[in-house]
Amino acid sequence: MKIVLASQSPRRKELLGRLVPAFSIQPADIDETPKPKEDPVAYVQRMAAEKAAAVQNNEETLVIASDTTVVLGNEILGKPEDDEEAKRMLRKFSGTTHDVYTAVVITDGTQEECILSHASVTFYELTDEEIERYLATGDHRDKAGAYGIQSYAGAFVESISGDYYSIVGFPIGAVNQALKKWPDLLS
């Protein structure tokens, strides 16, 4: 069976590579706009399911699709459109706790495994200088919530409760457990 990762994220590619020896990459092209008043958990699960459905085309393919969303209060904070939006997001996170949800859908067209992983992240108070220095790295681009915890922005984190890999965007432990439904893949 062929394995396809429905993502172009280098982090997801690296983490899946720790679990399975070979797979291909086929990013899903879907509309990632939240529906009005959509619950953040329902949103992230819908995104992962739609990505999997967009890529799944036969029973000879196992598709692994993932989506991550960052939530502050009830506001879904996706990927920033530009540096100004990224700056606004990071200012909102300063000195507060926000939630990160990652949903993963694994399907071979006949059976499906759905994973929801969560973490709460508390940021230290951030200065404008810290935010500007981070934005200058470009690391915030194409990341939900405008930050990547595995790089420079890790210095902003005071504490984490939950799965670190949910924040990175691919809960490797939960995915490993789910892949046991397809034992031939892991041998």
Mean pLDDT of 107-126: 96
List pLDDT tens digits, range 117-153. 999 999 999 999 999 999 999 989 889 899 999 988 9
Region at 17 (left for phi over 0; alpha for psi -120 to 50; beta for the rest): alpha
Specify whether 142 is catalytic. no
Question: What value does the mean pLDDT of the chain take?
Answer: 94
User: Choosing from 31, 67, 139, 184, which is the catalytic residue?
Assistant: 67
> Is residue 186 pLDDT above 70, yes or no?
no
List pLDDT tens digits, range 162-185. 999 999 999 999 999 999 999 887
Report strand pairing: 75-77 vs 112-123.
unpaired
What CATH number labels 2-186?
3.90.950.10
Mean pLDDT of 56-64: 89
CA distances from 184 to 21, 148, 170, 176 (A): 12, 33, 22, 13
* pLDDT band at 60; cut points 50, 70, 90: confident
One-letter amino acid of 162: G
Domain range summary for the chain, segments of one domain joined by +: 2-186
